[in-house]
Amino acid sequence: MMDTKLNGPLPAKPSRWPFYFFLIGLFAIVLISAIYIGANPLTFIQNSDNMVDLFVRMFPPAWSYIATTTPAMLETIRMALLGTTIGMVFSIPIMFLCARNIFRLRWLVELSRIGLNVLRTIPDLLLAAIFAAILGFSPLAGIVALSIFSIGIIAKLSFEAIENIDNGPLESMTAVGANKLQWIAFGVVPQILPHFVSYVLYTFEINIRAAAILGLVGAGGIGVFYDRALGFFAYDQVLALILYTLVVVIIIDLISLKIREKLL
């Protein structure tokens, strides 16, 4: 082994304490959170036979339930489709208002953005619960909730795409003396259209998943059946529902992905 005596001075070793304190603080927060909500691993272990029981009773899945729930599944798809469409229509003005390179009025742009960010904080299920209270327990509540939810996604993604467009066509539109609407129609729209359609499809994928659970708060679709099956402890039906939803989601994802690949 070589001689390890150093000839020069050792550089100052940086203290690790700030890092350790940070870690300890983080763990303290997690621990306090866990205690606050009464997360007791023992409860989980003591009730693990419940879980085993739940799993055992899931098999075999109640395949016949698929036929029973198909009308509700179709309703779910309809809700997602209409919700996405309405959301898309309302996103169009909002996304232009939020893009810094379209409108020069700073206060208008910033105000729109704050509005959009606030809108994005409200989860889909909460919207559905409120609209179910207003409009009654019907798919209409789900459609309205999904529409508002879609605006948050489509407008956000689209205004970011608008801010990244090529400036050249915009300048040439200004140069030929176009008014604001013409300027948007000929300079902006052709550039973002493929992105926009792609985001709409992406939102549709998300909305299918969302629509499948809205029924839990009475806003239509297949979610109602989850509530029903769980209420009767019919876990084989629950599994059938889960698998059914999974297959539908995957099929729609695949179709949507194919179209999106073609677009971009």
Partner 1 sequence: MSQRDQLKKARARKRGKIAIILIGLIAIYVWAISGIEFRGIQETAGPVTKNILKGFISPDWSYVYSPDGEDLIRGLLETLAIAIAGIFLSIILAVPVGLWAAKNLSKSFITSQSGKGVLSFFRTLPDIILALLFIKVVGPGAFAGMLALGIGAMGMLGKLYAEEVEAMDPGPVESIAAVGGNKLQQLAFGVIPQVLPGFISATLYRFEINMRSAATLGLIGAGGVGTALIFAIQGRSWDRVGIILIGIVVVVLIVDLLSSALRKRIT
Partner 2 sequence: MIELNDVSKVYSNGVKGLEDVNLKINKGEFVSIVGLSGAGKSTLLRSINRLIDISSGDIKIDEKSITSASEKQLRMIRRDIGMIFQSFNLVKRSSVLRNVLSGRVAYNNTLRTLLNLFPQKDVDLALKALERVNILDKAYTRSSELSGGQQQRVSIARTLAQEAKIILADEPTASLDPVTTKQVMDDLKKINTEDDVTVIINLHFVDLAKEYSTRIIGLQAGKVVFDGTPEEATSEVFEEIYGRSLKEDELLGEENL
Residues that bind partner 2 in the complex, under the rule CB under 8 A: 1-8, 10-14
The reply to whether 92 sits near partner 1 by the rule CB under 8 A is no
Q: How far apart are CA 14 and CA 181, in angstroms?
A: 60
The reply to whether 129 sits near partner 1 by the rule CB under 8 A is yes
Q: Is the dihedral of CA 194, 199, 204, 205 positive or negative?
A: positive
The reply to whether 189 sits near partner 1 by the rule CB under 8 A is no
The reply to whether 246 sits near partner 1 by the rule CB under 8 A is yes
Looking at the Cβ atoms of 15 and 121, the one nearer to partner 2 is 15
State which of residues 62, 184, 197, 242 lies at the interface with partner 1 (CB under 8 A). Answer: 242
> How many residues are listed for the chain in this entry?
264
**Among 31-39, 59-67, 105-113, 189-197, which window interacts with partner 1 (CB under 8 A)?**
31-39
**Among 120-128, 157-165, 173-181, 199-207, which window interacts with partner 1 (CB under 8 A)?**
120-128
Cα 85 from chain centroid? 16
**Among 15-23, 104-112, 195-203, 238-246, which window interacts with partner 1 (CB under 8 A)?**
238-246
Q: How far apart are CA 225 and CA 68, in angstroms?
A: 10
Q: How far apart are CA 203 and CA 76, in angstroms?
A: 15
Minimum distance from residue 233 beta carbon to partner 1 (Å): 8
Q: How far apart are CA 85 and CA 76, in angstroms?
A: 14
Q: How far is CA 26 from CA 37, 52, 254, in A?
A: 17, 33, 40
The reply to whether 213 sits near partner 1 by the rule CB under 8 A is yes
The reply to whether 62 sits near partner 1 by the rule CB under 8 A is no
Looking at the Cβ atoms of 4 and 121, the one nearer to partner 2 is 4
Looking at the Cβ atoms of 6 and 56, the one nearer to partner 2 is 6
Among partner 1, partner 2, none, partner that 5 touches (CB below 5 to 8 angstroms by kind): partner 2
> Which residues in 186-204 are b (16+ Cβ under 10 Å) and which e?
ebbeebbeebbebbbbbbb
Angle, CA 96 vertex, CA 253 and CA 119 arms, to 5°: 65
State which of residues 61, 72, 73, 79 lies at the interface with partner 1 (CB under 8 A). Answer: 79
**Among 62-70, 139-147, 170-178, 188-196, which window interacts with partner 1 (CB under 8 A)?**
139-147
The reply to whether 40 sits near partner 1 by the rule CB under 8 A is yes
Binding site for partner 1 (CB under 8 A): 29-30, 32-34, 36-40, 43-44, 47-48, 50-51, 54, 74-75, 77-79, 81-82, 85, 117-118, 121-126, 129-130, 133-136, 138-140, 143, 209, 212-213, 216-217, 226-227, 230, 233, 238, 242, 245-246, 249-250
